[in-house]
């Protein structure tokens, strides 16, 4: 099973280079952030997405079709779970070969890791994590605007708060050792039991978007 996440920096038109890279990894679960409805992964995928954005929402000049987070999957989607902010976070219960998995795709802080908006997103999404992890295994994935190794961003406090809730909920941040990276994949330990993990990255030169892409393989 492959789980992939990538912030694709608000594409204004279909980008074949991005589509080709996604096809290369051929992941069963794909979470795209800062995305757009013009990005379509193919007939083998179904999806759930955050609400479409209108120009001026949150004071941002959005273009037609933009949304913040989309979950694409080759597996069957069951129920869509409620989240703190339906414009920023989306959660779907997915029927995987390894059991039910609540996939929570998100951006923490739509203006980066600064200001009151980041603090509010962080605190309220932590409540989402706690509520949703009580039901089944969970995968929290997307643009956290927090690094866990390398340069500290945005703060030790933000990093520590997430690490504490991951420990409390018996989750593991599988991307924490990628230096200076804010895009992460966090999984319930029970879902990973007796499985090997491989992490791959691309777009290190930031030419296709301003974030690297990350793909996790569970073998």
What pLDDT is stored for residue 135 in this prediction?
78
The answer to whether the CB of 132 falls within 8 A of the CB of 171 is no
Domain boundaries, the chain: 2-218
The answer to whether the CB of 182 falls within 8 A of the CB of 175 is no
Which alpha helices (DSSP H) does the chain contain, by range? Answer: 16-25, 115-133, 156-168
**For residue range 58-84, what is the model confidence (pLDDT) as tens digits?**
999 999 999 999 999 999 999 999 999
Fold of 2-218: Deoxyribonuclease I; Chain A (3.60.10)
Residues in a beta bridge with 66: 36
Compute how many other C-beta atoms are within 10 angstroms of the C-beta atom of residue 160.
10
Mean pLDDT by 10 residues, the chain (219 residues): 97 91 97 96 96 96 96 97 97 95 97 96 97 92 98 97 98 97 97 93 96 96
What pLDDT is stored for residue 14 in this prediction?
84
Which alpha helices (DSSP H) does 10-143 contain, by range? Answer: 16-25, 115-133
């Amino acid at each position: 099973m492959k789980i992939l996440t990538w912030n694709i920096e608000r594409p204004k038109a279909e980008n074949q280079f991005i589509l080709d890279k996604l096809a290369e990894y051929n992941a069963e679960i794909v979470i795209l952030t800062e995305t757009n409805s013009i990005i379509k992964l193919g007939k083998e995928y179904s999806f759930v997405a955050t609400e479409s954005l209108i120009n001026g929402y949150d004071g941002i000049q959005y273009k037609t079709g933009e949304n913040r987070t989309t979950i694409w999957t080759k597996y069957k989607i069951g129920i869509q779970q409620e989240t703190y902010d339906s414009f920023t976070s989306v959660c779907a219960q997915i029927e995987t070969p390894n059991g039910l998995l609540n996939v929570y795709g998100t951006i923490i802080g739509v203006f980066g890791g600064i200001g009151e908006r980041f603090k509010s997103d962080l605190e309220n999404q932590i409540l989402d994590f706690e509520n949703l992890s009580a039901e089944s295994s969970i995968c929290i994935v997307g643009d956290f605007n927090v690094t866990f190794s390398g340069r500290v961003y945005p703060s030790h406090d933000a990093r520590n708060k997430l690490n504490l809730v991951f420990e409390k909920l018996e989750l593991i941040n599988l991307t924490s050792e990628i230096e200076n990276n804010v895009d992460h994949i966090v999984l319930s330990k029970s879902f990973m039991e007796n499985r090997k993990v491989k992490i791959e990255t691309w777009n290190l030169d930031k030419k296709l978007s301003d974030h690297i892409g990350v793909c996790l393989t569970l073998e």
